[in-house]
Structure 1
């Protein structure tokens, strides 16, 4: 009986792990489902340039690229709060929000001068890690971070080359250009961080070991093996579902004002 129990337990564990590994392996081939809304509140140089680059990125390799979608700022009434609301309602996985004053603030720093100019305020990258921490952190976030860094470098090179031509012979303008080597950049806002419970692993492992304790204590004769197995794994699934639901509701109901 003990051998039968061990065989059944190993089969069930390996079966569940096989399903998990299969699903995890297939994630890399489903990158387009990670919708990335490129929202342009700017309408100047920065917004259209970023949207064009996102469209080109998706066209170049549609099967292995995140699902970039260009959206006008009017869809969200040019409001960061509306964009956050759409994120929380899972209209997209990531939002790249080009701020309304991105081009104006950048050009003012170059033409007039602004020592307090912060290029990282030009673009907001918003997402909710708590929606699916595993897939976001392993697949989507590294790719979108690489894309954004690539955009910053490309746009900086393009803008600096343009200013170099326009500012030829103007020492004051060239000095302002030198003071701002990076025209625009971005800030990341994780509006729902994933905070795993320390007790989860201990509880799940303890539940798995429960049948073994029954066997060793001699109580196995009074409890069917199949019942022990079913109780163990149902307990794991229920605990995981309840803890995830509690954590998700916590961030859903929290007052997140990450973007002004």
Structure 2
């Protein structure tokens, strides 16, 4: 009985102590859920709201937008004039294009033609050189070969015995005599269809037409005193009306319109393809986190070798597109012509693309379009017209990728002067430059990245 009473008192005492402890324990603070202010909710503000966050965001938006417009202003006046100058001032330098005039006749026709070309002057006229026929023992064919060797841009020959044949035909009233055999003008429009279409061909035709007209007038005055003039007019009127005519012989004609897609316009697309691939490779490295996992050396290796490998297949698809649309790559080198063009496309895409790959390291994705515009304009400006008719500053074009691709394409398709070895050398030079600059730029960026990472680690340790 006493044990039961003692145990009960123990329970009561324990309950009393627990109650007292609970009563004197500090109370937990009552927390109320924080409801965000409606003014701070995203997607809920007007354009001209004056709350601090919206005002700050609007200020940053205006700053970035205006900066972008100012950058465009700089590009318009600092980059685009390169192309405008290449087109707008080309006609002022047409005199830099030389033409040969060779008299193989030695008679009155030869004298009339050479004298007319001597009198041609002006900065918008070709410079015509009157050369002795003795310099071309092979005759007019050797003059044509000089044109194919790019020693001149046009050549006019007064063919052997032109005056003798004309006089003999007049005396015999030979109606079968072809007066166009007297003078031949040689052209190679496949060398640069733009300058021939707009300048060289019209000038040559205009000059020779004027010579023909003047000679016809003077010759008809001489024939007017002949007793048989009426008979001559009846049997061979052309010998009186137009005793001197000419033939235009375009020995390398631009007769493949689709070739413009591979020797000029298509080069822009080739560069754009390289730019798209450069952006994709950057996204692949960054978004996957692969770039931060690699040491500097293996990162440089994949940035140099992997794009070149991909360019190989992209350039093949690009080349096959031209082949599918009928570009005749086999005219000069047979089946090897396509392979040469493919390899040139690969090398030029590598030269163009690695330059972008190198510059995007420093400029980042935000500013690389500025370099892209400069890269396009500087290449395009020297590929439309011959560099000889451009202002002297455009002499840099001989070392640009576009110009050398265009020269190779014209050699393959139109059988113009073969400078393919030099053209490949230029592309390799650009590739070498990128192989030097890209590791340097990547090293500089990696140093900055390491310093930023170390700073963040120190901050995290200090916070902990």
TM-score (norm 2): 0.46
Cα deviation digits, residues 152-203 of structure 1 (max 9, x gap): 11111111111112x1355434434524321121111122223434366356
Aligned to 1:252: 416
Task: Kindly report which structure 2 residues correspond to 1:10-159, keeping only aligned pairs within 5 A, or say none.
Answer: 15-58=78-121, 62-77=122-137, 79-159=139-219
**Contact map agreement 1:37 1:96 (CA 8 A) in 2:** yes
**Contact map agreement 1:78 1:100 (CA 8 A) in 2:** no
Structure 2 alignment gaps of length 5 or more: 1-60, 287-359, 380-399, 419-464
Given the alignment of the two structures, is residue 163 of structure 1 paired with residue 223 of structure 2, yes or no?
yes
More deviation, 198-207/137-146? 198-207
**Contact map agreement 1:130 1:248 (CA 8 A) in 2:** yes
Aligned to 1:204: 268
Match of 1:240 among 389, 402, 418: 402
State the 1:93 CA deviation: 1.3
Between the aligned partners of 2:68 and 2:273, the Cα distance in structure 1 is 13
**Contact map agreement 1:99 1:123 (CA 8 A) in 2:** yes
Between the aligned partners of 1:54 and 1:27, the Cα distance in structure 2 is 22
Count of residues in correspondence between the two structures: 249
Structure 1 alignment gaps of length 5 or more: 255-260
**Contact map agreement 1:160 1:177 (CA 8 A) in 2:** no
Per chain length, whose mean CA-contact separation is higher, i.e. which structure has more relative contact order (CA < 8 Å, sep 6+)? Answer: 1
Over 3 Å counting, the alpha-carbon distance change for 1:206 and 1:42 in structure 2 is closer
| 2:237 counterpart SS class | helix
Between the aligned partners of 2:271 and 2:125, the Cα distance in structure 1 is 40
**Contact map agreement 1:211 1:229 (CA 8 A) in 2:** no
**Contact map agreement 2:95 2:124 (CA 8 A) in 1:** yes
Over 3 Å counting, the alpha-carbon distance change for 1:136 and 1:220 in structure 2 is farther
TM-score (norm 1): 0.77
| 2:197 counterpart SS class | helix
Between the aligned partners of 1:206 and 1:247, the Cα distance in structure 2 is 14
Between the aligned partners of 1:7 and 1:193, the Cα distance in structure 2 is 46
Between the aligned partners of 2:408 and 2:277, the Cα distance in structure 1 is 30
State the 1:121 CA deviation: 1.5
Between the aligned partners of 1:170 and 1:135, the Cα distance in structure 2 is 44
Query: What is the root-mean-square deviation of aligned Cα atoms in Å?
Result: 3.7
Between the aligned partners of 1:128 and 1:179, the Cα distance in structure 2 is 30
More deviation, 22-31/196-205? 196-205
| 1:117 counterpart SS class | coil
| 2:119 counterpart SS class | helix
Over 3 Å counting, the alpha-carbon distance change for 1:211 and 1:100 in structure 2 is closer
Flag the structure with higher strand content. Answer: 1
**Contact map agreement 2:183 2:245 (CA 8 A) in 1:** yes
**Contact map agreement 2:190 2:416 (CA 8 A) in 1:** no
Over 3 Å counting, the alpha-carbon distance change for 1:211 and 1:95 in structure 2 is closer
**Contact map agreement 2:99 2:129 (CA 8 A) in 1:** yes
Between the aligned partners of 1:234 and 1:19, the Cα distance in structure 2 is 11
| 2:243 counterpart SS class | coil
**Contact map agreement 1:40 1:99 (CA 8 A) in 2:** yes
| 1:188 counterpart SS class | strand
